[in-house]
C-alpha cells in the first residue's frame, strides 16, 4: 500500500511497481495520508520489511531505503535526418541509473554511445521518449531549466580539453559558474579554491597554451 502523496509524487496507481531494498512490490492500494504533514510512506507486510531491513528493531515501523533512480529513461529514440535519410542512432531505450552506480556505455563505432551521452547530459534531446533526471523530464523541459540542471548537476570530462585558448586558467574555470548566476566575489573565491585544490593556484593567470598538458 502507498499513501496518496507518495502515489502522486511517483505517478503510481494500483498495479504499478515500487522498488524497495532492491525488491519489487506491486501496489495493491492507495491510502489517504493520515496527516497532511506526515512524510510520504509505503506500507509493506511487516515480515517482509523485517527480512529486508538491515536493523529490523522491534517496532511496527521500519525504514527501508527507497532507491529512486537518478535517471529514468523510457522509450528513448534519437533519429537523425540527413539528406532525406533517417538514421536511428538510439532506438527505444529504457534505462534506470541509481545513486552511486558506475555505468560504462560500450558498443561498436556508430552505434549511438555519444548520442546517448549527449542526451543524458542535457546537451541534446531525443526524438521520442522521456529522460527523467531527478524527477523532471529533460526531453521536454525548457532550455533554461535544462541549462540549470546541466550547470548544477552534471560534470563532463571531454576527450579533448575544450579550454578557451584566449581565456586564462581562472577565466576558463569561472566560465562554468556564469550560467549558475554566482556573483563575482563568490565566483572568484570558488575559482581560487578550485585551482588551489589541484595545485594550480599560482598559474591562474596563465593561458591554456602556457600550461603543461597535465596542468
Ligand atoms: N548530427 C548527425 N546527423 C546525422 N547523423 C548523425 C549525427 N550524429 C551522429 N550521427 C549518426 O548516428 C549514429 C550514432 O552516432 P554516435 O556518434 O552516437 O556513435 P558512437 O557510438 O558514439 O560512435 P563512436 O564509437 O565512433 O564514437 C552514427 O551512425 C552516426 O553516423
Ligand atoms: Mg562516440
Q: Which atom of ligand 1 is nearest to the CA of 90?
A: 14
Distance from residue 46's CA to the centre of ligand 2 (Å): 48
**Nearest ligand to the C-alpha of residue 89?**
1
Which of 100, 19, 34 lies closest to 64, judged by CA?
19
Which of 56, 76, 51, 9 lies closest to 18, judged by CA?
9
**Nearest ligand to the C-alpha of residue 79?**
1
Question: Which of left, alpha, beta for 109 (phi over 0: left; psi -120 to 50: alpha)?
Answer: beta
- The residues pairing with 87 across neighbouring beta strands, listed in sequence order, are 80
pLDDT of residue 152: 83
The C-alpha cell that represents 24 in the structure block = 519489487
Sort 159 into a burial class: Cβ within 10 Å, 0-12 / 13-18 / 19+: exposed
Cα 26 off chain centre by = 25
Per-residue pLDDT tens listing for the chain (215 residues): 888 878 887 888 999 988 877 788 899 988 886 665 666 677 888 777 777 766 656 666 666 655 678 899 999 999 999 999 999 999 999 999 987 788 999 999 999 999 999 999 999 999 999 999 988 999 999 999 998 899 888 988 877 888 999 999 999 999 988 888 889 999 999 999 999 999 999 999 999 999 998 89
Q: Which atom of ligand 1 is nearest to the CA of 81?
A: 4
Q: What is the DSSP string of the chain?
A: -EEHHHHHHTT--TT-EEEETTEEEE---EE--SSTTSPP-B---HHHHHHH-SS--SSS-----B---SEEEEEEEEEEEETTEEEEEEEEEEEEE-TT--------TTSSHHHHHHHHTTSS--SEEEEEETTEETTTS-HHHHHHHHHHH-----SS----TTS-HHHHHHHTTGGGT--HHHHHHHHHHHHHHTT-GGGTT--GGGS-S--
Q: Is the CB of 90 under 6 A from ligand 1?
A: no
The C-alpha cell that represents 120 in the structure block = 543524458
Query: Which domains does the chain possess?
Result: 2-52 (no CATH), 71-153 (3.40.50.300), 169-210 (no CATH)
How many angstroms separate the CA atoms of 132 and 137, rounded? 4
Q: Is the pTM of this model over 0.95?
A: no
The C-alpha cell that represents 115 in the structure block = 548520442
Amino acid at each position: 500500500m502507498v499513501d496518496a502523496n507518495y502515489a502522486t509524487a511517483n505517478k503510481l496507481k494500483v498495479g504499478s511497481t515500487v522498488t524497495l531494498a532492491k525488491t519489487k512490490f506491486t501496489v495493491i492500494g492507495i491510502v489517504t495520508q493520515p496527516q497532511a504533514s506526515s512524510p510520504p510512506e509505503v506500507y509493506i507486510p511487516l515480515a517482509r520489511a523485517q527480512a529486508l531491513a538491515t536493523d529490523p528493531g522491534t517496532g511496527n515501523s521500519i525504514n527501508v531505503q527507497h532507491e529512486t533512480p537518478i535517471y529514468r529513461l523510457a522509450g528513448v529514440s534519437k533519429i537523425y535526418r540527413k539528406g532525406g535519410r533517417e538514421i536511428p542512432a538510439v532506438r527505444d531505450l529504457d534505462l534506470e541509473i541509481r545513486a552511486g552506480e558506475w555505468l560504462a556505455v560500450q558498443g561498436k563505432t556508430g552505434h549511438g554511445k555519444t548520442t546517448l551521452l549527449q542526451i543524458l547530459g542535457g546537451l541534446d534531446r531525443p526524438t521520442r521518449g522521456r529522460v527523467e533526471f531527478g524527477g523532471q523530464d529533460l526531453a521536454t523541459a525548457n532550455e533554461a531549466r535544462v541549462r540549470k540542471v546541466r550547470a548544477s548537476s552534471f560534470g563532463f570530462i571531454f576527450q579533448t580539453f575544450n579550454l578557451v585558448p584566449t581565456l586564462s586558467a581562472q577565466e576558463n574555470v569561472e566560465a562554468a559558474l556564469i550560467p549558475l548566476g554566482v556573483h563575482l566575489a563568490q565566483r572568484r573565491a570558488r575559482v581560487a579554491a578550485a585551482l588551489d585544490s589541484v595545485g594550480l593556484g599560482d598559474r591562474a593567470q596563465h593561458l591554456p597554451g602556457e600550461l603543461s598538458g597535465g596542468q
